Structure 1
Amino acid sequence: MDVVLQHMTHGPFWTGVLQIILLNIILSGDNAVVIAMACLTLPPKQRAWGMILGSGMAVLLRIILTFVISEAMEFAYVTLVGGALLFYVAIKLVTEDADSDDEGVERAHTLWRAMIIVAIADIVMSLDNVLAIAGSAKNAAAQVDLAHSTAIKSTLIIFGLATSIPLIIAGSGILMLLLERYRVLVWGGGALLGWVAGELMASDSVLGDWFSEPVQHQLHIWGGPVGGIIVLGTGYILVGRHRRLILDEILAGVALLIWILVDRVNDTLFGGAHPDLVRIWTVRGAAFALMIVGYAVARRQWHIEHKEV
């Protein structure tokens, strides 16, 4: 412990902490989406607690996962089962308000249900992220003091992840305000979780025993898009049983199809063994900007037509 405290006064230690904080912020985008979506249906007085507890739980679980099961993804069926759980979470989130008549009953346990949703999603979505965090901590610890790298690595992981809690809370808070105003983002977030779930399931090592290499390649390509379609398609069916779909929910499906098309075009033109990342992200950015403009125009036109009616 004295060795760790001694190195905490040195620059390389804090460089390692900063690396882990930045890495966790980048990797926590999907966690912030889950926390914001899970807290969206909470009563206003419980939302702050939901974000605080959800963010704290997300970081705590990531610390545990980093220490305990950083090798878990090497085992068969782990990501397959995890992807199935994430599908359940995604569908649950997009259909949360399908039947508004139950709202008063559901909210009695919503805070705990929200925490359960965050926990399940974070465990599943962090399986690959913890490998990156553990690797970064290992390299940073070796640069600080190779002889005591194990103890320093543990301190770096705990300190770096814990100090990122306020940033996750802030990100979740901003996202929740946007989700409350723009329903399309709720369904877009659900599609994102479905995309991640599909990619997770397609990457399970057991598929190598079930399918040939060409089939596995196609699964890697289409796992994410099909996952997003499954979540939105299931959501449309479940919500459609209770009420008519609103404009934002329909536009989320259109946006998903456009994004899949952009993804396929990008992969065809700029992918391969040495992908041109600059062009790929330029095309993605342009497509995203056009979708925002299209969404704004569609909403404006819809409001004009309904005012006339």
Structure 2
Amino acid sequence: MEMLQTAEFWIGLLKIIWINIILSGDNAVVIALAARGLPPHQQQKAIMFGSGAAVVLRIALTVVAAKLLALSYLQIIGGILLLWIGTQLLQGEDEEEGEGKEHTGLMTAIRTILIADLVMSLDNVIAVAAAAKGSMTLLVLGLAISIPLVIFGSQLMIKLMERFPIIITLGAGLIGWVAGETIVSDVALKSIVESNGWLHYAGPALGVAVVLTIGKMSSGKSKPA
């Protein structure tokens, strides 16, 4: 293929890989939080499915992201979903046992990863699409190469969470921050946010507070007396 021999192609590919590395930080945190309560053999499945799905979603969203971002209230709904996911991920590990429960736990983790990544990727894929400059080959190749990076990042985060539990709280807080950013970025709130610049920071900060407060309260109630 002639395009493989051009400097423009390789520069574009490197841009996409680099952008995806930066954007994959949030994904790695979500995947690690969702998978941490699973048995070790199921953690690998959740990471593999979650990482692969994250890339596939970004490819699909690249085609329609600009149109979706123009829809009023879509990001508000997505942000609220992220708030809910953040509180759920903070509630701790599921101690139920049995093959049926393990299967349910794996499916729940994968579903959580898919929903969170769908919301978190909406505005991020604009940057990836710009780097691809309309080349679907470049887009798919660049994101596919990034899959191992997401997998490695998720595995590393799980190990860090096991050693330093505070990272779980920080990760949930990050999801709350992204949720707040997503909500205040909605086109329906554009004029309000533009005339009140402090909302750019208050929204994400409130998202962190909501996730940590509700998540900790729910976690405390779920513990046996």
TM-score by length of 2: 0.92
2:185 is the alignment partner of 1:203: yes
- 2:38 and 2:105 in contact (8 A); partners too: yes
CA RMSD of aligned residues (A): 1.8
Q: Deviation per CA, 1:201-231, whole angstroms, max 9, x where unpaired?
A: 011121246x4854x4232220011100100
1:237 match: 217
Question: In the alignment, does 2:54 pair up with 1:27?
Answer: no
> Which of the residues 13, 17, 39 maps onto 2:13?
17
2:91 matches 1:111: no
Mind listing any 5+ residue stretches in structure 1 that lack a counterpart?
139-149, 245-309
Q: Does 1:185 align with 2:181?
A: no
The answer to whether 1:44 aligns with 2:40 is yes
Report the AA paired with residue 122 of structure 1.
D
- In structure 1, C-alpha distance between the alignment counterparts of 2:197 and 2:107, rounded to whole Å: 40
Please, what TM-score do these two structures have when normalized by structure 1? 0.68
Q: Aligned-pair distance for 1:39?
A: 1.1
2:120 partner letter: M
Amino acid at match of 1:228: V
Match of 1:134 in 2: 129
Aligned residues: 223
Give CA-to-partner distance per residue, 1:139-169, whole Å, 9 cap, x none.
xxxxxxxxxxx4xx11111110011101111
Aligned to 2:68: 72
Answer yes or no: is 1:122 the counterpart of 2:102. Answer: no
1:223 aligns with 2:199: no
Between the aligned partners of 2:12 and 2:89, the Cα distance in structure 1 is 36
* Cα distance in 2 between the residues matched to 1:95 and 1:157: 37
Return the offset for 1:103.
5.4
Bigger RCO (CA 8 Å, 6+ sep): 2
Alpha-carbon distance in 2 for matches of 1:182, 1:34:
16
User: Which AA in structure 2 matches 1:207?
Assistant: L
SS of the equivalent of 1:206 reads: helix
Q: How does 1:285-296 map to 2 (within 5 A)?
A: none
Secondary structure, in 3 states, of the residue corresponding to 1:167? helix
Residue 69 of structure 1, CA deviation? 2.6
Larger C-alpha radius of gyration, 1 or 2?
1
2-structure distance, mates of 1:221, 1:10: 43
Closer/same/farther in 2, CA of residues 106 and 189 from structure 1, 3 Å limit: farther
Partner of 1:301: none
1:54–1:118: 8 Å Cα contact kept in structure 2? yes
SS at 2:198 equivalent:
helix
Secondary structure of 1:70's partner? Answer: helix
Q: Is the 8 A contact 2:86 2:215 kept in 1?
A: no
- Which residue of 2 is the match for residue 260 of structure 1? none
